[in-house]
Amino acid sequence: MTCRKYSQYSKTLTVCLVYMLLTFLPVIFLFSSGRGEGAVSLNARRAGLMINSFVIAFFTVAICLLIAVFASLWIYTELNRRSLLRWYFLILAPVPPYIYALSYMNLLRFLGRFFPAVLRYRMAGVFPCVVVETFVYLPFACAAALIALDQVNEKEWSAALVLENADKVFIKVIFPKQLPWLLAIGAIIFVLSITDYSIPSLFQVNVYSMEIFSDYSAAGQSVHSLYLSFPLMLTSSIVIILSLLPLRIISFSMKAETGIKPVYSNGLKAAGITAVFCTLLQIILPLISFIPSVHDLGGDLVSASSELWNSCISGMFAVLILTVPSAAMALLLSSNDLRLKAAAWMIAVLPLCIPGVLTGIGVLKLFSSTPLYVLRSGALFPATGLAIRYLPFAVLIQYGCYLRIDRDRISAAELLQDRRGKAFMRVQLPLMLPGLIISGIAVFLLALGDVGTSLVLMMPGREPMSVKIYNYLHYGSSEKVTAFCLMQMLVSLVMMGAVCNISRWFQRKNPT
């Protein structure tokens, strides 16, 4: 038993070290390669940029979680548990943020024909940033809230309904079960918001993450940019650690008992319907604002084929690079050993705190100052940065999929296997396969729409589609950029269709 436990700890240590090396290597290399590039002064202007970042992130998180709580409650109560229709809000979840930014601009231009004051007060500033980022992150908040409800034991829910009305049961019994998931997704949204500059820059709001990119572009001092990132990374680390650690105690299997259907008050029902309308608006708005503006989709597709190809190749290489380390780390998160699990959670989520632009700068410095320079002309160069950037997302997605795996089946296979590793290859790996595919699709779509990392790592003549659209948007909306955004939406829809089919197949193979 002692040897087995020692072997388990050694495997855990190896996986954690490899994961940390991959995710923190660019930052470590920056820190060790160019000291003495000048001190960083946190002046009043930079403090104001940090406040702008905090304000946008705080209101985005607050609105997303408020809508998610009521929308998930209505969906859970009114729709069949086994129906994939419950996950409708994820249809456009992987589309890049700038698609929602363009949708917002198109909508306001249309309203501006009738109400000119709308254009004057709502085309720039914090308000449009919060609106757009709410649409971007709302699907993930709703998914976390709904998964949390799926974790609730309905026998406990039904017993509480015998003693109290549905509204009080929700407040006293159900919402506390949702809270760890809401805190976790809220932390992720907060960190993603304060480390992103693409949306604020489109609406003429200066934020702290943009200062990092501007500082590097102006001076080319990578270590100086790293020091400049410390306040952002420290804040993100505190938020991530305090919010995500409660998830380490989540159980594996989801409860499937049939209980009493709660009947909520009219006020709670109205809040649920309003929240569901907001989730539908997140899907409808891009469609109704894009389709009328497209006239020559075929011609635009041809004109952007090279950029789309560059994005797809980099995305596919990124998926291949991170598949094995993300699967190994996700398995550690699923460990029954609470001490191992707590340490694994800490290591898994902390890389989320590294801004994408800093990851890009670190990879650029790494490839420029080492023998890896020979790879700079190929797709592997930007793919490495994208893989490092989105490795934590792949881990979290796979962990969410692993929660649905029948652990008893794996334990039985390990007891009955006639040689070591057979249970993993014949039983566990096939059960992990849907999670691997879904996380791969998600990372591919995230890489397809990435701006922060790609803008630093793109090579001359190899501009990705995301950067092309981002540059177009700074010169105002046009029919061409609308067509480019619609193309990326179509790719996302096709990929999400694949995810739905995989989920349906997995449901049939693993009925609850």
Per-residue pLDDT tens digits for 63-82: 999 999 999 989 988 887 76
Q: How far is CA 237 from CA 138, 162, 345, 351, 482, in A?
A: 22, 43, 12, 9, 37
Mean pLDDT score of the chain: 78
Query: What is the C-alpha separation between 139 and 62, in angstroms, rounded?
Result: 14
The one-letter amino acid code at 431 reads L
Highest-confidence segment of 4-8, 51-55, 452-456, 459-463? 51-55
Per-residue pLDDT tens digits for 254-271: 444 445 567 788 888 899
Per-residue pLDDT tens digits for 19-29: 888 888 878 87
Among 35-44, 275-284, 490-499, name the one with the lowest average pLDDT: 35-44
Phi, psi of 330 (to 5 degrees): -65, -35
Q: Is residue 3 scored above 80 in pLDDT?
A: no
Per-residue pLDDT tens digits for 84-93: 778 888 888 7
Query: Would you place residue 414 in the very low, low, confident or very high pLDDT band (cuts 50, 70, 90)?
Result: low
pTM of the model: 0.82
What confidence score (pLDDT) does residue 1 get? Answer: 46
SS3 labels along 176-242: HHHHHHHHHHHHHHHHHHHCCCHHHHHCCCCCHHHHHHHHHHHHCCHHHHHHHHHHHHHHHHHHHHH
Per-residue pLDDT tens digits for 4-17: 555 566 777 788 88
Query: Would you place residue 364 in the very low, low, confident or very high pLDDT band (cuts 50, 70, 90)?
Result: confident
Query: What is the C-alpha separation between 447 and 315, in angstroms, rounded?
Result: 5
Per-residue pLDDT tens digits for 288-331: 877 666 666 666 666 667 777 888 888 888 888 888 888 888 88
Query: What is the C-alpha separation between 457 and 382, in angstroms, rounded?
Result: 5
Phi, psi of 123 (to 5 degrees): -90, -10
What confidence score (pLDDT) does residue 337 get? Answer: 64
Q: Is residue 468 scored above 90 in pLDDT?
A: no
What confidence score (pLDDT) does residue 443 get? Answer: 86
- Which residue did the predictor score with more confidence, 168 or 131? 131
Per-residue pLDDT tens digits for 121-139: 677 788 989 999 999 999 9
Which helix (H) or strand (E) segment is 390 a member of? helix 380-402
Is the distance from CB of 98 to CB of 87 less than 8 angstroms? Answer: no
Per-residue pLDDT tens digits for 178-206: 888 888 889 889 988 998 888 898 888 88
Percentage of the chain modeled with pLDDT above 90? 8
The residues, any chain, with a CB within 8 Å of residue 213's CB and separated by 6 or more, are 197, 357, 452, 455, 456
Domains and CATH numbers, the chain: 41-293 (1.10.3720.10), 297-512 (1.10.3720.10)
What confidence score (pLDDT) does residue 292 get? Answer: 64
Query: What is the C-alpha separation between 295 and 300, in angstroms, rounded?
Result: 9
